[in-house]
Amino acid sequence: MCLQMGVKRQRHAALYLRILALAALLHTLTCLDLSNLQLTNITVSGDDASGSPTSFSFFSGGGVRQTSAAADLATETELILRSNALTMIPAALFRALKSAKKVDLSNNPNLTTLETNSFVDLPQLTEITSVNTGLKELPTLLVSNCAKLETITFNSSFIHTINRNAIANLPKLLEIHLSRNNVTVLYPNSFANLSKIHTLDLSYNNLTNVPGELFSVANTWKALDFTRNNITGAPPLIQNAVVTGYVSFERNLIFEIKPEEFANAAYIQELRLGHNGIFTVHGRAFNGMASLRKLDLSDNVISVIDGNAFEGLSVLKELLLGQNYIKRLTFTQFPPQLERLELQENLIDLMPTFSDGVAASNLQYL
């Protein structure tokens, strides 16, 4: 009995020591929150044996607010610099964050520049957030070789250029959010070696074209969002996109769907073309989109739809044509699996007509 009690005491003591060790570790891994301090500048001081800085000083209008040793920064799990007046941030500061999982630079309206190699070789980093800043471009190799990085957000800024290899070599990256900027320049290799990525949000920018190589960056996309840009038609090589979710070209400058414009984009499940100025949909415009299940053409000015415009849509379930100027609709080809056809708020006064031999046997909603 005494032996058993002794063993139990030893186990309890060992467990207690483990708890103390874990508590000590959690104490050493901290969050550096420097938000709302009106910081204007960050300086770098000293060099260690490897040439890396030994300390960083954070300045506001009143002088130095804080100085942090590089060794201390290496234990921080988060860096929060929200709501300051920074104009630039030295790349060396980010590279010192060897334990950081998250970095937040949001609400720095004077921040216009991030340096090349800012977020490089950070082994624990999972999330970068920068919303509402003055950033004007993403430089080459801004973010690279961060083995655990999953989400990058640079929304609501003034970014006009995403340089070559700006975001590259990130094996676990899932999402890039670049909405509500001024993006006009996007290179074929702006995003490179991102094998796991599934979401790219470039909505509310000023793109006039999309490099075709972009569609092959991901093995499978869930969302490709180009809503509210200045795109005038189907981008080249869209046929290479594999999309289990949606591709959106809503609120662009598409005025006509040309014959076979989206033809053979065989691996897209949902295509959103609503809220453009489309007036005509020509024959076989979507022919060969063998995976397309939902096609949204609502809220345009469509008055002409060729009878075979929807030919080759073998698995289409939903066709949204509401809020247009359609008066007559005749189908010489009809998607055989179509279940939902929306025609509300048009000028149509007769039911759609079908050529001989054309049936709508699966249609459930009209």
CA 36 to chain CA centroid, nearest Å = 27
DSSP classification of residue 108: B
At residue 16, does pLDDT exceed 60? no
User: Where is 128: in which H helix or E strand?
Assistant: strand 127-129
State residue 102's pLDDT score: 99
Q: Global pTM?
A: 0.90
State residue 51's pLDDT score: 76
Residue with more model confidence, 334 or 280: 280
Which sequence spans correspond to the domains of the chain?
71-354
Instruction: Residue 254: name the closest of 278, 228, 284 by CA.
Output: 278
The mean pLDDT value for 7-33 works out to 59
- Separation of alpha carbons 46 and 172, rounded Å: 34
Residue with more model confidence, 292 or 19: 292
At residue 52, does pLDDT exceed 90? no
Judge whether 53 and 46 are in contact, CB under 8 Å. Answer: yes
Rounded to the nearest integer, the mean pLDDT of the chain is 92
State residue 32's pLDDT score: 97
At residue 364, does pLDDT exceed 90? no
The mean pLDDT value for 325-336 works out to 92
pLDDT digits (tens, 9 = 90+) for 171-197: 999 999 999 999 999 999 999 999 999
Q: What angle do CA 95, 182, 298 make, to 5 degrees?
A: 125
295: its two tokens: 């096609």
- Separation of alpha carbons 235 and 229, rounded Å: 13
10 Å Cβ neighbour count for 45?
12
318: its two tokens: 């939903």
pLDDT digits (tens, 9 = 90+) for 313-325: 999 999 999 999 9
pLDDT digits (tens, 9 = 90+) for 25-39: 444 458 999 999 999
10 Å Cβ neighbour count for 26?
10
Instruction: Residue 198: name the closest of 164, 229, 244, 234 by CA.
Output: 244
State residue 26's pLDDT score: 41
Using CB atoms within 10 A of its CB, is residue 350 exposed (0-12), middle (13-18) or buried (19+)? exposed
pLDDT digits (tens, 9 = 90+) for 238-256: 999 999 999 999 999 999 9
State residue 350's pLDDT score: 83
- Separation of alpha carbons 86 and 30, rounded Å: 23
DSSP three-state, residue 43 = strand
The share of the chain scoring above pLDDT 70, in percent, equals 89
Using the structure block, give the residue that is written with the tokens 């981008």: 235
State residue 27's pLDDT score: 41
- Separation of alpha carbons 147 and 133, rounded Å: 26
State residue 22's pLDDT score: 46
Judge whether 282 and 256 are in contact, CB under 8 Å. Answer: yes
DSSP three-state, residue 240 = helix
Q: What is the CA radius of gyration of the chain?
A: 27
pLDDT digits (tens, 9 = 90+) for 110-163: 999 999 999 999 999 999 999 999 999 999 999 999 999 999 999 999 999 999
Residue 16 phi/psi, 5-degree rounding, is: -65, -40
At residue 50, does pLDDT exceed 90? no
Residue 41: pLDDT band with limits 50, 70, 90? very high
10 Å Cβ neighbour count for 254?
20
Q: What angle do CA 336, 339, 341 make, to 5 degrees?
A: 100
The share of the chain scoring above pLDDT 90, in percent, equals 83
The mean pLDDT value for 65-94 works out to 97
| One-letter identity of residue 252 | N
When mean pLDDT is compared across 19-33, 202-216, 341-355, the lowest value belongs to 19-33
State residue 206's pLDDT score: 99
User: Where is 3: in which H helix or E strand?
Assistant: helix 2-28
Residue 12: pLDDT band with limits 50, 70, 90? low
State residue 317's pLDDT score: 98
10 Å Cβ neighbour count for 184?
16
DSSP three-state, residue 212 = helix
Q: Tell me which CATH homologous superfamily contains domain 71-354.
A: Ribonuclease Inhibitor (3.80.10.10)
